A and B are shown apart, each in its own frame.
Chain A
Amino acid sequence: TQLLEQSPQFLSIQEGENLTVYCNSSSVFSSLQWYRQEPGEGPVLLVTVVTGGEVKKLKRLTFQFGDARKDSSLHITAAQPGDTGLYLCAGAPTTSGTYKYIFGTGTRLKVLA
């Protein structure tokens, strides 16, 4: 069974600080997605990483896929209160033709003004 563990589970920081959240597995994924979910809403896709070592930037958010495609990180620079939310990673297993996502446990971020 493929699992994705995210850390930390909870993070509370001051506005302007930097932070990194991690998504780790012992399994290889063909791609990894990061989502943000607000309470009572569906996950909103932020980015997809596919190649080992790939780095993608989305404004103040930097996403990296591990070289072995088993882990990923999300770094936020100068966090703002609007970044508050639940960040989820989701991996697509390497089985050919399978796109069922395995979701991570989530990191709940709170940015204080």
Chain B
Amino acid sequence: EPEVTQTPSHQVTQMGQEVILRCVPISNHLYFYWYRQILGQKVEFLVSFYNNEISEKSEIFDDQFSVERPDGSNFTLKIRSTKLEDSAMYFCASSDKYRMSEQYFGPGTRLTVT
């Protein structure tokens, strides 16, 4: 069964460093999302992406965040200058154009900023 994959599973970085989190959405899906979950808290929406542009973003998704679909399969989230409070699980999700409300999530990348 097709699934969303994410790499790396765990990323440790120093404060101020740039990180890129990678996702491979389900192959025929057209809508892509990033969410984050700080330990012990709710899953929070960051950004949605369709047709090579951002559809919607939350107030969390400030100028230090960016997303890109560099090729036909990958979807990336870049954090330019990480802060301690960026430590969280980051989940990528995707959905197809016929069932946009059904989002399928990847296993997540645990980002630890020290």
Query: B31 — which chain A residues lie within 8 A by C-beta?
Result: 99
Interface residue A27 (Cβ < 8 Å from any Cβ of B): no
Mark interface residues in A89-113 (1 if CB within 8 Å of B CB, else 0). Answer: 0101000011111111110000000
| B111 CB → nearest A CB, Å | 13
Asked, given contacts A42-B105, A90-B43, whether A101 binds B35 with beta carbons under 8 Å apart, the answer is: yes
The count of A-to-B residue pairs whose CB atoms sit within 8 angstroms is 62
Interface residue B75 (Cβ < 8 Å from any Cβ of A): no
Asked, given contacts A43-B91, A97-B55, A98-B56, whether A103 binds B105 with beta carbons under 8 Å apart, the answer is: no
Chain B residue nearest to A29 (CB atoms) is B101
In the complex the two chains form, is B42's CB within 8 Å of A99's CB? no
**Contact residues on A (Cβ < 8 Å of other chain), bracket:** 20 to 34
Query: B95 — which chain A residues lie within 8 A by C-beta?
Result: 99
User: What is the interface size of chain B, counting residues whose CB is below 8 A from a CB of the partner?
Assistant: 27
Mark interface residues in B94-114 (1 if CB within 8 Å of A CB, else 0). Answer: 010001111111111010000
In the complex the two chains form, is B107's CB within 8 Å of A99's CB? no
- The stretch among A17-25, A44-52, A61-69, A74-82 that forms the contact with chain B is A44-52
26 contacts across the A-B interface (CB closer than 8 A): A30-B101, A33-B103, A40-B89, A41-B107, A42-B6, A42-B108, A43-B91, A43-B105, A44-B105, A45-B104, A48-B101, A88-B43, A98-B56, A99-B31, A99-B48, A100-B48, A100-B56, A100-B58, A101-B35, A101-B45, A102-B45, A103-B35, A103-B43, A103-B44, A105-B42, A106-B42
5 A-B pairs with the lowest CB-CB distances in the bound complex, closest first: A42-B105, A31-B101, A103-B43, A100-B45, A42-B107
